[in-house]
Structure 1
Amino acid sequence: MNALADKATKFLALHQPGDPVILPTVWDAWSANLVQQAGFAALTVGSHPLADSLGKQDNEGMTFAESLARVREITAAVDIPVSLDIEAGYGRKPAELIEGLIETGVVGLNIEDTVHSEGGRLREPQEHADFVAALRQAADAAGVHVVINARTDLFVKQVGDEADRTDRAIARLRLAAEAGADVLYPVGRHTPETLRRLTSELPLPVNAISTPDQNDRAYFAEAGAARVSFGPFFQAALATEANRLLQRWS
């Protein structure tokens, strides 16, 4: 447990605004090894590519147990810190989620505010913050500072009026910060102006998303991001290249 706690502390320390950690998003031991061998300091496991690799649908088409079974293979294959997208929590209690992550060797998590099991509704801002608080309490009780990346889907789901969407996202994520989150994730492909506003007005390190073949680390550093992940785009880019190779033979 002490080794896992140390790994979690080191993972959190990688999140530096203006000096972002790049976390390629993986889905199995092969892709995780690819990332570690390329020299990255940590990685994240995305629900979308993981579900695809299992023949399941994203948005909790797989179970928490199915996710953990695959992630256990990943943590056994690599030494670097691993974070897992736990979607909306699969209907599990926060303590159960933290217990499963720690047992699997995971030191970070993404938690969405979309409740897939309830028609894709968004949790109310305080409701999401309360879920974050319960996750933090459970992790603290377990003695591992699991790095909580609190995500809002306001942008990707285009919820409400665009004119005040950034204001609402900031207000929502500030509540999550007060509840014990470590990183804030206003997921979406933002304009440079919006990303700079988010990184400057939010009180914690901000996670940005990118495709692996666009922008670069310097772009996100200048915008003030502390973490960059690829969501489903790394897997999609590899699929495009695989299709190119296969078409020569079909």
Structure 2
Amino acid sequence: MNKIEMFNKLHHSEEFLFLGNAWDLLSALTLEKAGFQAIGTTSWGIANSLGLQDGELVDFGEHLRIIQTIAEHVTIPVSADIEAGYGDNVERIVQNVLRTADVGVAGINIEDSFKKKNGLRDIAEHAHLLYKIRRALDERGYKDFFINARTDTYLQKEQPLLETIERGNAYVESGASGIFVPGVLLDEDIRELAVKIQAPLNVLSLPGLTNCNKLKALGVQRFSFGNALSDKIIAFMDMNATQLFELKDTESLYS
């Protein structure tokens, strides 16, 4: 069984998929050693590690090299966060997806929000993009490559539930393998999304939304923590670096 097949199976198993989010090789190896069955890269974490902010500000080639390094050095499947695809047109985005698949990952996250302005792509427009991505992947030999279609309705809309269901099912019909809904928090919304969207549901960790067992009971199949771990590590380094400088003493490094 190759990694694409392994990753697909993890989404259709009775076992809940708790995905570890990595931003460099060290974090990926640490997550694998801890026991995570799959890794998703975090574009936010990668950007921060390079001194930049999230939002496709990292050169795509550089971003892809980091993803490739992770994919080549772990034995578990890797899903690549490529934000909105790093392109201004369908052709460029499709080519970037193929380049990403070629470095050995088992899937991608791709979102329906714009990077250079507020708002979401039109449903039909984004569904068409997903269709073109799926078709190109199949033609390249990447059958069952996992397209996790992220919709940012809960980050941008005041009444997002019905539109999220509409977008989710439109994306699945166009070739998406799963639907990622960051920002959803209420149990009743999560339960309805899991029932009404005809594909595995992925949600993002938030304060108050943290427990895998509870989410599994609500119908969620995949859970990720995004940039939360990388943010915590960066905050820890900031605190310790400040302490070292202020105290002019390295004793804290050994306690």
Q: Which moved more, 1:177-186 or 1:67-76?
A: 67-76
- Distance in 1 of aligned mates of 2:122 and 2:81: 20
What's the CA shift string for 1:2-29, capped at 9, x where partnerless? x7xx211110110137632111111000
Q: What secondary structure does 2:11 align onto?
A: coil
Q: What secondary structure does 1:83 align onto?
A: strand
Alignment of 1:1-250 (within 5 A): 6-16=2-12, 19-91=15-87, 93-117=92-116, 119-144=117-142, 145-157=144-156, 159=157, 161-162=158-159, 165-211=160-206, 215-249=210-244, 250=246
- Which blocks of at least 5 consecutive residues in structure 2 are unaligned? 247-255
Q: What secondary structure does 1:199 align onto?
A: helix
Runs of 4+ in 1 over 4 A off after TM superposition: 211-214
- Distance in 2 of aligned mates of 1:200 and 1:177: 14
What's the CA shift string for 1:36-93, capped at 9, x where partnerless? 1011111000111111111222111113212101112111221111101111111162
Residues 229 and 201 of structure 1: CA distance in aligned 2, closer, same or farther (over 3 Å) = same
What's the CA shift string for 1:74-114, capped at 9, x where partnerless? 11221111101111111162431232112211111011101
Q: What is the one-letter code of the residue matched to 1:47?
A: S
Q: Is the 8 A contact 2:101 2:107 kept in 1?
A: no
- Distance in 2 of aligned mates of 1:138 and 1:50: 27
Between 1 and 2, higher relative CO (CA 8 Å, sep ≥ 6) is seen in: 1
The count of corresponding residues between Structure 1 and Structure 2 is: 241
- Distance in 1 of aligned mates of 2:184 and 2:239: 26
Q: Is the 8 A contact 2:85 2:97 kept in 1?
A: no
- Distance in 2 of aligned mates of 1:143 and 1:67: 23
Q: What secondary structure does 2:126 align onto?
A: helix
Residues 70 and 61 of structure 1: CA distance in aligned 2, closer, same or farther (over 3 Å) = same
* TM-score normalised by the chain length of structure 1: 0.90
Q: Is the 8 A contact 2:108 2:146 kept in 1?
A: yes
- Which blocks of at least 5 consecutive residues in structure 1 are unaligned? none
Which structure has the larger Rg over C-alpha atoms?
Answer: 2
Q: Is the 8 A contact 1:82 1:106 kept in 2?
A: yes
Q: Which moved more, 1:55-64 or 1:38-47?
A: 55-64
* TM-score normalised by the chain length of structure 2: 0.88
| Aligned residues: CA RMSD | 2.0
Q: What secondary structure does 1:150 align onto?
A: strand
- Distance in 2 of aligned mates of 1:17 and 1:226: 9
